[in-house]
Structure 1
Amino acid sequence: MFRHSAFRSAALALAISLSVGAPAAFADNAPAASTPAAVQRQAIAKGLYELAYSSTQNAVFVASSGGFGDDAGPSQVLRLNPATLAVETRIPLERKAFGVVLDDAHNRLYVGNTVDTSVTVVDTAQNKAIGIVQLMEKKVGKDGKAAYTHDLRELVVDSPANRLYVTGHSSEGSALFVVDTTTLKVINTIPGLGNAKAPGLALDAANKRVYTSNLLADLVVVGTDANKVVAQHKISAEQPMNIALHPDGKRLFVTDQGSEMIRSYMTKSSAGFTSKHPGQRVLVLDRTTGKELASIPTDAGPLGILLDAPRKRLYVTNRDGGTVTAYDSESYQKVATYPVPTHPNSLALDAKNNVLYVSIKNGEKDAKDANESVARIQL
């Protein structure tokens, strides 16, 4: 099991970077096309995390925590011009911003305030924050100090059903928060996501299922109609991160990061743990059984994942490799590599214009006060 206090500082950076396998089934037999000319990039602000593209507003929205420490900048959501990446509007926030999910039909962007265990609601038409949903209250620990028992990572929204789902991390029991987006109230907290960080989150609204992954190599399925965990499968990924669902209803794609930091911690802290696979791949799973259908090798440190099913394209951010890689989602062959150093993080797609947006974190060699970046890739 993961002890929360010990694992928090190391895994939180991974969790919000938004941070028992078979042999790889698909070799990278031919060099993939590298197309840096298709990439434009703009330094935006400190502490960039997730982003979203709004077709309604024709804008890119990106969360900026401002960073940490005495030289931290303001927390804000930045509205970017989708063609030039110029900042058009700065939307100030009271709390630090990390994960985001867009409800374009209702002109709302939901922003995860990871360290405050809350969600800020942004009106994308008015370009302003309109509320905060507190997901849980602080509890007093054995040391006499009040603190949140869970921190946050991913958010998904079911717009027609007026529901927002948010994963809450705790090594003593991760949970799924359910928010009514009409009242902006928490209506349920569903336990059972595992006693470990639960990085992955994906919604199948039509079939009333939420899929989550955790760092105990579990795929946990929540029934949004039953309001409880309805299935749990051991999977062949030691470090399952972000999830993408195929609309065929059968397949699930999950990044298996292969972080040496996490592997080292698990070896030291989890009795009997033996690493069986180096990760650095995307696993294709049967979402009903968790069975491995394919293993797709990636560049180092795969994290973010996005499926463009109509075009049969799967995109992956390789955090340590400094690239975004594109794959044919049917043959699983690599079709392109886009260099975006240092640490590409999350993805958003303008499906109409076939443009991919990427948030990019700085590395240790970048200036401490340097702004982080967003890249625009014309596919």
Structure 2
Amino acid sequence: MYRNPLIRSATLALAVSLSLGAPSAFAADKATATPAASTAVQRKAVAQGLYELAYSAKQNAVFVASSGGFGDAAGPSQVLRLNPATLAVETRIPLERKAFGVVLDDASNRLYVGNTVDTSVTVVDTAQNKAIGTVQLMEKKVGKDGKAGYTHDLRELVVDGPAHRLYVTGHSGEGSVLFVVDTQTLKLIDTIPGLGKAKAPGLALDTKAKRVYTSNLLADLVVVGTDTGKVVQQYKISAEQPMNIALDPDGKRLFVTDQGLEMIRNYQAKSTPGFTSKHPGQRVLVIDRTDGKELASIPSDAGPLGILLDAPRKRLYVTNREGGTVTAYNSDTYKKVASYNVPTHPNSLALDARNNVLYVTIKNGEKDAKGSEESVARIQLGK
């Protein structure tokens, strides 16, 4: 099913679902955990097809990607600038291509937006509130059926502002890659192979160590040297469905959401010869990034996906898409300290560290009206 990367329909449906949190047939419609602080949550529906978001301390604004959704009822693709206190839409920044993943270089007033289905990145000027360029990461290829398509789709983005480099994962069952973009010239300067012949969801950057960490659905942790432009290490890890990654900046730990979805198991069984499921997932795996060894396994609510570490406060935040919750853990003891009820499908996270506020995109479920707007939640966190 996934052997030919030019067959876009089934592959793209999986890519958007497992990579960026589109609703799936296996997703629950109601939260299963009891919230610890529901009064701290405020929420607002803002647009169709919401995905990742970022908080800008410099602009004092929340920027959220809206793909507009798919089909006849789809809305426009745009980046929404939200008031961080009220979540009101202050500006709508139109885009020519659908918006999914984002990463912010706040010092440079740049928001980089992944155009998953077009294998490109749109550059948004956050001071001027407008798109200023597009970086095409790959050209279409013509398959045996005579139709042109992209061999890779996109997921996560990370940026090294001082070094003027943007890194983007390119998914493909035929061999995932890491794209490297010069943020001054807005040109693709390298395509690094070797991330594994499977989807590669996770991405984290350690600028000091000059390392990019990626995960794939073959249960690999693949490490790329930003100084060498090559894969420098690869380890088998115990997460069967490693998704997003959070990096401890002052230590050797990586926090990885191990999702545990039946849909992904089916993909793994069809795409990986001899695959046998050995772990149900639904946890956060803590690993040593120097050797890939498991340090801890933290039980989560159903379908953990997004993950964010607030290292100074020793807090780890996780979105649980099927559980409809955001859970907070002590990042030293790994104990759960709070749970926030944000049904239906909480997806991505951003943090206002100064004010200790967490922002969450929330996807609709199957019972929501087709074409209805999706939401952003604002969570005022406790001490």
Task: Report the TM range for the smaller structure's normalisation.
Answer: over 0.9
Instruction: Quote the residue 1:12 is aligned against.
Output: 16
- C-alpha distance in structure 2 between counterparts of 1:239 and 1:12, whole Å: 15
Comparing 327-336 with 31-40, greater Cα deviation is found at 31-40
Instruction: Quote the residue 1:108 is aligned against.
Output: 110
> For 1:195, what is the secondary structure of its paired residue?
coil
Contact 2:35 2:341 in 1 (8 A): no
Residue identity in the other structure for 1:137 = E
- Indicate which of 53, 65, 68 corresponds to 2:67: 65
- C-alpha distance in structure 1 between counterparts of 2:108 and 2:250, whole Å: 27
- C-alpha distance in structure 1 between counterparts of 2:15 and 2:190, whole Å: 26
- C-alpha distance in structure 2 between counterparts of 1:42 and 1:276, whole Å: 39
Instruction: Quote the residue 1:140 is aligned against.
Output: 142
TM-score, length-scaled by structure 2: 0.94
Deviation string 1:88-143 (CA, Å, 9 cap, x unpaired) is 00000000000000000000000000000000000000000000000011011111
Residue 8 of structure 1: how far off its partner (Å): 4.1
> For 1:307, what is the secondary structure of its paired residue?
strand
Evaluate the alpha carbon distance shift between residue 136 and residue 267 of structure 1 in structure 2; reply closer, same or farther with a 3 A threshold.
Answer: closer
- C-alpha distance in structure 2 between counterparts of 1:301 and 1:166, whole Å: 24
- C-alpha distance in structure 2 between counterparts of 1:268 and 1:177, whole Å: 27
The CA RMSD measured in Å over matched residues stands at 1.4
Map 1:179-194; keep pairs closer than 5 Å: 179-194=181-196
Contact 1:280 1:297 in 2 (8 A): yes
- C-alpha distance in structure 2 between counterparts of 1:268 and 1:52, whole Å: 35
- C-alpha distance in structure 2 between counterparts of 1:245 and 1:219, whole Å: 13
Map 1:365-376; keep pairs closer than 5 Å: 365-376=367-378
Q: Does 1:249 align with 2:248?
A: no
> For 2:139, what is the secondary structure of its paired residue?
coil
Contact 1:49 1:359 in 2 (8 A): yes
- C-alpha distance in structure 2 between counterparts of 1:265 and 1:369, whole Å: 27
Deviation string 1:213-260 (CA, Å, 9 cap, x unpaired) is 000000000000000000000000110000000022310000000001
- C-alpha distance in structure 1 between counterparts of 2:2 and 2:95, whole Å: 32
- C-alpha distance in structure 1 between counterparts of 2:56 and 2:362, whole Å: 19
Instruction: Quote the residue 1:55 is aligned against.
Output: 57
Residue 190 of structure 1: how far off its partner (Å): 0.3
Instruction: Quote the residue 2:40 is aligned against.
Output: 38
Evaluate the alpha carbon distance shift between residue 268 and residue 135 of structure 1 in structure 2; reply closer, same or farther with a 3 A threshold.
Answer: closer
Contact 2:245 2:307 in 1 (8 A): yes
Instruction: Quote the residue 1:149 is aligned against.
Output: 151
Contact 1:282 1:297 in 2 (8 A): yes
Instruction: Quote the residue 1:196 is aligned against.
Output: 198
Instruction: Quote the residue 1:311 is aligned against.
Output: 313
Residue 270 of structure 1: how far off its partner (Å): 2.7
Evaluate the alpha carbon distance shift between residue 265 and residue 258 of structure 1 in structure 2; reply closer, same or farther with a 3 A threshold.
Answer: same
Evaluate the alpha carbon distance shift between residue 332 and residue 70 of structure 1 in structure 2; reply closer, same or farther with a 3 A threshold.
Answer: same
Q: How many residues align?
A: 368
Residue identity in the other structure for 1:46 = Q
Instruction: Quote the residue 1:214 is aligned against.
Output: 216
% identical equivalent positions: 82
Residue 339 of structure 1: how far off its partner (Å): 0.4
- C-alpha distance in structure 2 between counterparts of 1:177 and 1:249, whole Å: 26
Contact 2:47 2:373 in 1 (8 A): yes
Contact 2:220 2:236 in 1 (8 A): yes
Contact 1:325 1:337 in 2 (8 A): yes
Structure 1 spans left out of the alignment, 5+ residues: 20-30
- C-alpha distance in structure 1 between counterparts of 2:267 and 2:114, whole Å: 26
TM-score, length-scaled by structure 1: 0.95
Q: Does 1:344 align with 2:346?
A: yes
> For 1:34, what is the secondary structure of its paired residue?
coil
Instruction: Quote the residue 1:329 is aligned against.
Output: 331
Instruction: Quote the residue 1:27 is aligned against.
Output: none
Deviation string 1:192-212 (CA, Å, 9 cap, x unpaired) is 000000000000001100000
Deviation string 1:22-57 (CA, Å, 9 cap, x unpaired) is xxxxxxxxx986111000000000000000000000
Residue 269 of structure 1: how far off its partner (Å): 4.2
Q: Does 1:99 align with 2:104?
A: no
- C-alpha distance in structure 1 between counterparts of 2:22 and 2:294, whole Å: 25
Contact 1:33 1:335 in 2 (8 A): no
Residue identity in the other structure for 1:278 = P
Evaluate the alpha carbon distance shift between residue 222 and residue 44 of structure 1 in structure 2; reply closer, same or farther with a 3 A threshold.
Answer: same
Map 1:271-310; keep pairs closer than 5 Å: 271-310=273-312
- C-alpha distance in structure 1 between counterparts of 2:286 and 2:239, whole Å: 10
Residue identity in the other structure for 2:191 = T
Instruction: Quote the residue 2:239 is aligned against.
Output: 237
Structure 2 spans left out of the alignment, 5+ residues: 24-32
- Indicate which of 262, 270, 290 corresponds to 1:260: 262
Instruction: Quote the residue 2:26 is aligned against.
Output: none
- Indicate which of 198, 204, 207 corresponds to 1:205: 207
Contact 1:2 1:195 in 2 (8 A): no
Comparing 157-166 with 240-249, greater Cα deviation is found at 240-249
Residue 370 of structure 1: how far off its partner (Å): 1.1
Comparing 258-267 with 286-295, greater Cα deviation is found at 258-267
> For 1:249, what is the secondary structure of its paired residue?
coil
